[in-house]
Amino acid sequence: MRTAAVERATKETNIRVSLDLDGQGRHDIDSPVPFLNHMLAQVAAHGLLDLEVRAAGDTTIDDHHTVEDLGIVLGQALRQAMGQAAGINRYGAALVPMDEALAQVVLDLSGRPFLSYEAAFPSRRIGKFEVGLIEEFLRAFAVHGGITLHIRLLAGRNGHHMAEAIFKALGRALYQAVTVDPRRHGVPSTKGTLAEKG
């Protein structure tokens, strides 16, 4: 069973995430950041990941701590659920449209965290959500998930569509990367391990 349950409690946030890599896209997401809830639902649905999130945070200050810590915990859950990563494809890529928007996500579950993020949005906010927090979430997710993550927003005018295209593409790329190839035995690396360095 490629599943994980991770909790993180600080003076700023209290978060619990349950993840099943071999799910059906079921999601039950409850945080005080509605827009991020909607985006995480896209990752689960399009990545065929079963995802449960319970989060509370100091959103009376702003959403930053909650959004970043959700990225941390989701990354940790992904890494835990993969275990030794035996047989996985390791790499994933997706090019996803959302009406006029087009996003590309390419990733490597290498154990070596890196985020390259090129996304210019037309405004600083989508509703009440601060657009800059998308990058903060993705960086935390990449670092704590051990993911080399490249994101390009190739087209778009509507901020909601643009963000949704990114998260849908992330789900599709994750599905491809975590899927087990029955022809592959062991860890998908000539080193024999997916390490944090090297």
* pLDDT(118) > 50: yes
The pLDDT assigned to 189 comes to 54
pLDDT digits (tens, 9 = 90+) for 160-191: 999 999 999 999 999 999 999 888 776 665 56
**pTM of the entire structure?**
0.93
The structural domains of the chain, ordered by start, are 3-178 (3.30.230.40)
> Rounded mean pLDDT of the chain?
94
- What's the pLDDT score for residue 167? 98
- Give yes or no for a contact between 51 and 178, defined as CB atoms under 8 angstroms apart: no
